[in-house]
Amino acid sequence: MSEFRLIQISDTHLARRLTRLTDNFDRVREYIDAKRPDLVINTGDLAFDGPTSRDDLEFARELHASLPVACRYLPGNHDIGDNPTRVGPVPPHPASEADLERFLAVIGEDRWRFEAAGWCFIGLNTLIMNTGLASEAEQFDWLASELAKANGRPVALFLHKPLYLNAPDDPELAASAIRYVPMPARSRLIEMFARVDLRLVASGHVHQIRDFTYGHVRHVWAPSAGFIISDKRQELIGVKAVGLVEYRFQPDGFEIRFVRAPGQIDVDLDSLFSAKS
């Protein structure tokens, strides 16, 4: 295969009761049906709140099963709980092995590696990082053995949380630590990926569109497919809009395009529980 077409969706936050988010997912599915990429990747927060409602995860699985092409998954903090950080407050629901097991039982995977169009694609579970859980150590061991097989191929990394705001050594701040892969796991990842030809880090979680390059690595922040978060709740960093990301990978490079599927609406988180929903 000389070209590999991928659509990244993220932060679908599905729940049976939140019909406007289902409407946005339906518009995304129609777009995917029209474009028929080789693969769809959801980079996490599939469910509105999996840790407190298994049915949200079940509903997300049902809707993703209706996509007309193959889909791969990564968990988000709203699927399995969140990371502890060194500087921020303790998350309301820290990730646990039980949460991860539930995600694996319902969705089927939390990390993966595959090759296409001369590229090596790796997806990691960022929410177990810094937890000290056995699954965290197991994932790092697995990653080391998978990176050893890259054999000089360009590498595309998919995560729920972005690695950092602007640079690898950005200070970890109490107010924003929860937004990025926490230290020291972030440093460990950067060190491991420095030994391969990393070209792309694609993430979700922030619900803002962003595209920047640091060194040789392009960082793509995917929009949420479901809703935006107002400035009074979250600072503006990139662009606040719903949508998806289309990629075309070829052995010598890749192209990306941010797209709003026809009919996809910028639902505001604060309006989700109003009378209209």
Residues that bind Fe ion (CB under 5 A): 11, 45, 76-77, 205
Q: Are 106 and 73 in contact (CB under 8 A)?
A: no
CB-side neighbour CA atoms (13 Å) of 57? 27
Q: How far is the CB of 51 from Fe ion (least distance, A)?
A: 12
CB of 127 to Fe ion, least distance (A): 8
Question: Taking the complex as a whole, how short is the minimal distance between the CB of residue 77 and Fe ion, in angstroms?
Answer: 4
Which two structure tokens, joined as six digits, stand for 133? 């859980």
Q: Which DSSP category does 240 fall into?
A: -
Nearer to Fe ion, 143 or 178 (CB): 178
Q: Choose among 80, 124, 127: nearest CA to 99.
A: 80
- To the nearest whole angstrom, how small is the minimum distance from the Cβ of residue 27 to Fe ion? 18
Nearest to Fe ion of 2, 232 (CB atom): 232
Closest approach of Fe ion to the CB of residue 79, in Å? 8
How far is Cα 47 from Cα 82, in angstroms, rounded to an integer? 14
Q: Report the residue number, 124 or 150, with the smaller CB distance to Fe ion.
A: 124
- Are 110 and 125 contacting, i.e. CB atoms less than 8 angstroms apart? yes
Please say which residue, 11 or 136, places its beta carbon nearer to Fe ion: 11
E-strand spans in the chain?
4-9, 39-42, 71-73, 112-116, 119-123, 154-158, 197-203, 210-214, 217-221, 227-228, 244-250, 253-259, 267-268
Least Cβ distance, residue 80 to Fe ion (angstroms): 10
Nearer to Fe ion (CB atom), residue 205 or residue 219: 205
**Beta carbon nearer to Fe ion, 14 or 196:** 14
Give least dist CB 205 to Fe ion, A. 4
Instruction: Give the other-Cβ count within 10 Å of 141's Cβ.
Output: 10
Give whole-number Cα distances, 242 to 62, 208, 209, 253, in Å: 21, 8, 8, 26
Query: Could you give the CA distance from residue 1 to residue 171 in angstroms, rounded to a whole number?
Result: 41
Nearer to Fe ion, 37 or 44 (CB): 44
